[in-house]
Structure 1
Amino acid sequence: MATTTSKKVLGGGEFLLEQISYENIFTKEERTEEQNMVLNMLQDFIDKEVAPNTAKIEKLDIELTKELLKKAGDLGLLGTSFPEEYGGFMQDFSTNMAITEYLAHTRSFSLSVGAHTGIGMLPILYFGNEEQKSKYLPSLVAGDKFAAYCLTEPDSGSDALAAKTKAVLNEAGTHYILNGQKMWITNAGFADVFVVFAKIDGEKFTGFIVEKAWEGVSLGAEEMKLGIKGSSTRQVFFENVEVPVENVLGQIGKGHKIAFNILNIGRIKLAAGVLGASKSVVKHAVGYANERKQFGQSIGNFGAIKHKLGEQATRIWVTEAAVHRASKAIDHVEHQLQAEGKTLAESLLGAAEEYAIECAILKVRGSECLDYVVDEGLQIYGGMGYSEEAPMASAYRDSRINRIFEGTNEINRMLSVDMLLKKAMKGQIDMMTPAMAIQKELMSFSLQKAAPEGLLAAELLQVQNLKKCFLAVSGMTAQELMMGLKDEQEILMNMADVMAEIYLAESAILRAQKLASLRGEEAVADQIAMSRIYLNDATERIAFSARQAVASWADGDKKKTLMLAIKRYCKQEFINTKALRRQIADSLLAANDYCYQD
Structure 2
Amino acid sequence: MSENQTKQPKIVGGGFVIDNPDLDRILTPEDFTEEHRMIGETVRGFIEGEVVPQDEHIEKLDYELTVDLLRKAGELGLLGADVPEEFGGVGLDKVSSTIINESLAKGSSFALSFGAHVGIGTLPIVLFGTTEQKQKYLPDLATGAKIAAYCLTEPTSGSDAMSAKTTARLTDDGEYYILNGSKLYITNAGFADIFIVYAKIDGEHFTAFIVEKEMEGFTLGPEEKKMGIKGSSTRPLFFEDVKVPKENLLGEIGKGHRIAFNILNIGRYKLAAGTVGAAKESIELSAKYANTRKQFETPISNFPLMRKKLAEMNITSFVMESMVYRTAGLLDEAMQDIDYSSNDAGAQAAAAVSEYAIECSINKVYASEGLDFIADEGVQIYGGYGYIQEYKIERIYRDSRINRIFEGTNEINRLLIPGTLVKKAMKGQIALLQKAQSLQGELLQLVPGQTFEGTLEQEAHYLDMSKKIFLLAGGLAVQKFGTKLEKEQEALANLADMMIDIYALESALLRTRKQIARTSEEKAVSMIEMTQVFAYEAFQRIEALAKETLASVESGDMLRMQMSVLKKLTRTNPVDTVALKRSIAARVVNNERYTV
Relative to the length of structure 1, the TM-score reads: 0.96
Aligned residue type for 2:511: R
Q: What SS is found at the alignment partner of 2:207?
A: strand
Aligned partner of 1:214 in structure 2 is: 215
Aligned residue type for 1:214: M
Equivalent residues of 1:216, 1:238 under 8 A apart? yes
1:478-493 equivalence runs, <5 A: 478-493=478-493
Provide the rounded CA distance (Å) in 2 between the counterparts of 1:41 and 1:502: 34
Question: Alpha carbons of 1:92 and 1:159: their partners in 2 closer, same or farther (altered >3 Å)?
Answer: same
Q: What SS is found at the alignment partner of 1:272?
A: helix
Q: Aligned residue pairs: how many?
A: 589
Aligned-pair CA distance for 1:595: 2.8
Provide the rounded CA distance (Å) in 2 between the counterparts of 1:422 and 1:366: 25
Equivalent residues of 1:268, 1:363 under 8 A apart? yes
Equivalent residues of 1:81, 1:89 under 8 A apart? yes
Superposed CA offset, 1:106-140 (max 9, x none): 11001101111111111111111111111111111
Question: Alpha carbons of 1:516 and 1:348: their partners in 2 closer, same or farther (altered >3 Å)?
Answer: farther
Equivalent residues of 1:107, 1:228 under 8 A apart? yes
Aligned partner of 1:577 in structure 2 is: 577
Aligned residue type for 2:558: K
Q: Does 1:538 align with 2:538?
A: yes
Aligned residue type for 1:357: I
Provide the rounded CA distance (Å) in 1 between the counterparts of 2:243 and 2:343: 34
Q: What SS is found at the alignment partner of 2:240?
A: strand
Q: What SS is found at the alignment partner of 2:336?
A: helix
Provide the rounded CA distance (Å) in 2 between the counterparts of 1:433 and 1:216: 56
Equivalent residues of 2:129, 2:346 under 8 A apart? no
Question: Comparing 430-439 with 394-403, which one deviates more in the overlay?
Answer: 430-439
Aligned-pair CA distance for 1:432: 2.5
Aligned residue type for 1:278: A
Q: What SS is found at the alignment partner of 2:536?
A: helix
Aligned partner of 1:505 in structure 2 is: 505
Q: What SS is found at the alignment partner of 1:595?
A: coil
Aligned-pair CA distance for 1:561: 2.5
Question: Comparing 301-310 with 15-24, which one deviates more in the overlay?
Answer: 15-24
For structure 2, the residue ranges without an aligned partner over 5 or more in a row are: 1-6
Provide the rounded CA distance (Å) in 1 between the counterparts of 2:10 and 2:448: 28
Aligned partner of 1:134 in structure 2 is: 135
Aligned-pair CA distance for 1:565: 2.5
Q: What SS is found at the alignment partner of 1:19?
A: coil
Provide the rounded CA distance (Å) in 2 between the counterparts of 1:483 and 1:524: 46
Provide the rounded CA distance (Å) in 1 between the counterparts of 2:446 and 2:503: 27
Aligned partner of 2:146 in structure 1 is: 145
Equivalent residues of 2:259, 2:350 under 8 A apart? no
Provide the rounded CA distance (Å) in 1 between the counterparts of 2:514 and 2:524: 10
Aligned residue type for 2:334: V
Aligned-pair CA distance for 1:214: 1.0
Aligned residue type for 1:477: A
Q: Does 1:233 align with 2:234?
A: yes
Provide the rounded CA distance (Å) in 2 between the counterparts of 1:547 and 1:169: 55
Relative to the length of structure 2, the TM-score reads: 0.96
Superposed CA offset, 1:362-387 (max 9, x none): 10000000000000000000011111
Aligned partner of 2:353 in structure 1 is: 352
Provide the rounded CA distance (Å) in 2 between the counterparts of 1:524 and 1:177: 60
Provide the rounded CA distance (Å) in 2 between the counterparts of 1:406 and 1:86: 27
Aligned-pair CA distance for 1:453: 5.7
Aligned residue type for 2:162: L
- Identity across the alignment (%): 49
RMSD of equivalent CA atoms: 1.8
Aligned partner of 1:3 in structure 2 is: none
Q: What SS is found at the alignment partner of 2:206?
A: strand
Equivalent residues of 1:334, 1:350 under 8 A apart? no
Provide the rounded CA distance (Å) in 2 between the counterparts of 1:582 and 1:346: 50
Aligned partner of 1:11 in structure 2 is: 12
Provide the rounded CA distance (Å) in 2 between the counterparts of 1:387 and 1:179: 44
Aligned-pair CA distance for 1:437: 2.2
1:184-263 equivalence runs, <5 A: 184-263=185-264
Aligned-pair CA distance for 1:506: 1.3
For structure 1, the residue ranges without an aligned partner over 5 or more in a row are: 1-5
Aligned-pair CA distance for 1:436: 2.1
Aligned-pair CA distance for 1:60: 0.8
Q: What SS is found at the alignment partner of 1:575?
A: coil
Provide the rounded CA distance (Å) in 1 between the counterparts of 2:561 and 2:473: 10
Aligned residue type for 2:499: M
Question: Comparing 64-73 with 170-179, which one deviates more in the overlay?
Answer: 170-179
Question: Alpha carbons of 1:84 and 1:20: their partners in 2 closer, same or farther (altered >3 Å)?
Answer: closer
Equivalent residues of 1:278, 1:374 under 8 A apart? yes
1:50-89 equivalence runs, <5 A: 50-89=51-90
Aligned residue type for 1:564: S
Superposed CA offset, 1:38-58 (max 9, x none): 222222211211111111111
Superposed CA offset, 1:286-314 (max 9, x none): 00100000011000000110110000000
Provide the rounded CA distance (Å) in 2 between the counterparts of 1:9 and 1:380: 45
Aligned partner of 2:516 in structure 1 is: 516
Equivalent residues of 1:473, 1:562 under 8 A apart? no
Provide the rounded CA distance (Å) in 2 between the counterparts of 1:270 and 1:489: 25
Provide the rounded CA distance (Å) in 2 between the counterparts of 1:184 and 1:63: 20
Equivalent residues of 2:182, 2:237 under 8 A apart? yes
Q: What SS is found at the alignment partner of 2:146?
A: coil
Aligned partner of 2:26 in structure 1 is: 25
Equivalent residues of 2:87, 2:139 under 8 A apart? yes
Q: Does 1:387 align with 2:391?
A: no
Equivalent residues of 1:8, 1:24 under 8 A apart? no
Equivalent residues of 2:279, 2:317 under 8 A apart? yes
Aligned partner of 1:329 in structure 2 is: 330
Question: Alpha carbons of 1:7 and 1:570: their partners in 2 closer, same or farther (altered >3 Å)?
Answer: farther
Superposed CA offset, 1:368-415 (max 9, x none): 000000000000000111111111211111000000011000000110
Question: Comparing 569-578 with 294-303, which one deviates more in the overlay?
Answer: 569-578
Question: Alpha carbons of 1:565 and 1:342: their partners in 2 closer, same or farther (altered >3 Å)?
Answer: farther
Superposed CA offset, 1:194-241 (max 9, x none): 110001111100111111111111101010000000000000101111
Superposed CA offset, 1:1-56 (max 9, x none): xxxxx977631111111113433311111111122222222222112111111111
Equivalent residues of 1:166, 1:198 under 8 A apart? yes
Aligned-pair CA distance for 1:324: 1.3
Q: What SS is found at the alignment partner of 1:589?
A: helix
Question: Comparing 301-310 with 555-564, which one deviates more in the overlay?
Answer: 555-564
Provide the rounded CA distance (Å) in 1 between the counterparts of 2:568 and 2:320: 27
Aligned-pair CA distance for 1:446: 4.8
Equivalent residues of 2:414, 2:493 under 8 A apart? yes
